Amino acid sequence: MILDDKVWVTTTDRRIYPAPCAPHDHLWWGHGYGDRPTEAAWVITQLLDDLSAEVSLADHWSQAPKGLTKLLNRPHQPGTELSRSALELARAQQHEGAA
């Protein structure tokens, strides 16, 4: 994932796509502004499980992994790239009691 003005997905063949989201909107990241990090964390989780998934923002408050949400709440420079392994590690932290 690339965190810029919005969230971008980089595939293994190095193609870059905007992260899927609700119509007429795009995913944000970063601290504040409501539920941006939980929405992004939930979409990223769905894509980590299946890149071709038809993602949904439904239930993102209860479904977004806490560790991944925490990672997306941290300040990052625009253009920051987060590898799949970094995303997986953050996602797994929810199960270890990290929040």
* Model confidence pLDDT, tens digit, residues 30-65: 655 556 788 888 889 999 999 888 887 778 878 889
Check residue 25 and give its pLDDT.
60
Check residue 88 and give its pLDDT.
95
Check residue 98 and give its pLDDT.
45
- Quickly count: other Cβ atoms within 10 Å of residue 24's Cβ: 5
Q: Is the pLDDT of residue 99 over 50?
A: no
Give the tokens for residue 28. 């944000």
Give the tokens for residue 63. 């479904």
**Mean pLDDT of the residues in the chain:** 81
Query: Are the CB atoms for 29 and 36 separated by under 8 Å?
Result: yes
- CA 11/CA 33 separation, integer angstroms: 28
Q: What percent of the chain has pLDDT over 90?
A: 24
